Structure 1
């Protein structure tokens, strides 16, 4: 009888629990240099480079993926370069920060995404994401330099930025998992 109960419990654990997306392996470091925050992150996604690329460059649907975005849309396109406008609110505990940004995004398909802010709440925002196919999926090295324009952002900058980067890449991983299942 005990063996039957254990077998039934194992069955419930395997088949009744909701599927959880595979978590990316992530190392995020944020350092401050003067008024600029420098982000270096290495993320390993257990998904093919095509899936990772499709999610990272789906700017028109990004507001449905990243919870801090209210809107995201491509306003101009020329070859592998687009201008993306985004609006949202970043939250960390009791702190929230509304933002509106326009960014020029240059894409080297399946390899690199380079972003430079044209306008927005930060004094400066530049980032680069380099993608590499691995035996277990896709590896990304992400580098960003952010110079916030508000005292609040400068005071809580490093921990706030690290939280935002981690949260966004986890949300993107969830979308990758969803698309991979389809």
Structure 2
């Protein structure tokens, strides 16, 4: 009796392993083929250049990067993000969050004047908040092989009362996490819309 139960348990375990292996074999390849985030600094100025090549629908990329009211749901270190005013392709967005690295935490408040150019990109610059200056640009580019490249370039001067190298490390760490989370949300939404089959 005990042997029969063990044999049934072993058979069930093997069946589950086979089903799992079959599911993994049929799963799509990774949708993100390349991702990079680079920062540089001179004095208080920090520049960020980031890009990701993905096999996703370009419309999904646009939908995610322009989903201002939901950015805080999936972007780490962002506490809130909301549209204050919209006038055609001009949007005023207010965001709060923080830059952080190890023990250092710096609250950030920014009001962004956003200019949309769907489906190709977004340009934004700070018009209020506690950053000395900030400007950024997203670009969406279709590549051969049904790939899409999302690129970001930004420049900011934090103006925090800490040594510049601490600000650079905190901004670099935060921007890396945030860009990767943005890409992850794009892939998640693309899979939920189009399904796993490619």
Q: Give the TM-score taking structure 2 as reference length.
A: 0.78
Report what 1:161 is aligned to: 171
| Structure 1 stretch displaced more, 110-119 or 21-30 | 21-30
- Pairwise CA RMSD: 2.7
Report what 2:114 is aligned to: 105
The answer to whether structure 1 residue 115 and structure 2 residue 124 are counterparts is yes
CA distances 1:105-142 after superposition (whole Å, capped 9, x unpaired): 10110112101001112100011111101224310221
The answer to whether structure 1 residue 37 and structure 2 residue 46 are counterparts is yes
**Structure 1 ranges of 4+ moved more than 3 A:** 4-16, 19-24
1:150 to 147, 160, 184: 160
Cα deviation, residue 24, structure 1: 5.9
CA contact (8 A) 1:68 1:89 kept: yes
Q: Which structure has the greater CA radius of gyration?
A: 2
Cα deviation, residue 23, structure 1: 4.4
CA distances 1:70-102 after superposition (whole Å, capped 9, x unpaired): 211100111101000011233322221211110
CA contact (8 A) 2:31 2:56 kept: no
Report what 1:47 is aligned to: 56
SS for the counterpart of 2:162 is helix
Map residues 77-96 of structure 1 onto 2, 5 A cutoff.
Answer: 77-96=86-105
Number of residue pairs aligned between Structure 1 and Structure 2: 178
CA contact (8 A) 1:92 1:160 kept: yes
SS for the counterpart of 1:150 is coil
Q: Give the TM-score taking structure 1 as reference length.
A: 0.84
Unaligned runs of 5+ in 2: 1-10, 194-198
Q: Distance between the aligned counterparts of 1:68 and 1:48, measured in 2?
A: 27
